[in-house]
Structure 1
């Protein structure tokens, strides 16, 4: 995993702490396991450095959001999330989701001007939707797809089928208005 395709400074401030907390809610881990897991989840695009990891863990420890399960000595420090940490994570996720919803549309408009110069916002959105639909078949070849259970795959396919049918109907109705 040699080539990095992600700029670490692009990670929002505080995001790494939340990612670590979420990971430690699932499994106790030590610092290098956290780094390895992030590198794996990003397909090698990013591996946080110890200079980012250990201050973040110290911050979480200081606020009792995680605890030390095993002190170093001969092995690495192992951390796990506390109940307080689980509650904190849930609250922060809700807050981030709300903030994202409020800012999403405004930021998208700004981004479209940058990435789709000369196009209207509507044209750019249609182009993005088209690209997403064109990439859909690649999903079925991805390791993420194969990691899902058969029931989950069926559930996702059915929900997307309903969504696409509803959108097709909407498109047909819009086209009928022009006839």
Structure 2
């Protein structure tokens, strides 16, 4: 009987012709000023989550993702790579504070190279040739999220084919 009364109270607070289908937080805040029962907050959240009207008009609170681009699949290993950086690390004894991650898109094998945030475009190019080209040959495609480090490189090397990224 008590559960039926709780259900009726929530129905009236949420779905009556005078209510505005409040979310669980607002509905709980309003109800707790007049009513109380064990696990009331959980009951209100479950009730609102089951409301079919609320689920149909639910607002998405996340920014939409960027436009997806079709990325062709590589035919050979180390033909196409992804680049990224792991930043904000404590400095090593030789002042490295970032890890440059180079991942083969076909095999998912990776190189993790310690670098400094102060590296120049030339430093990245030299390290890339020493570590990736030396072992795997020149690549067809480099894909990056254009992090701050690579934007710096891109600005300094507009004519360099090495950093001509998609």
TM-score bucket of the superposed structures, by smaller chain: under 0.3
TM-score, normalised via structure 2 length = 0.27
Higher share of residues assigned helix: 1
TM-score, normalised via structure 1 length = 0.25
**Structure ID, larger Rg:** 2
Higher share of residues assigned strand: 2
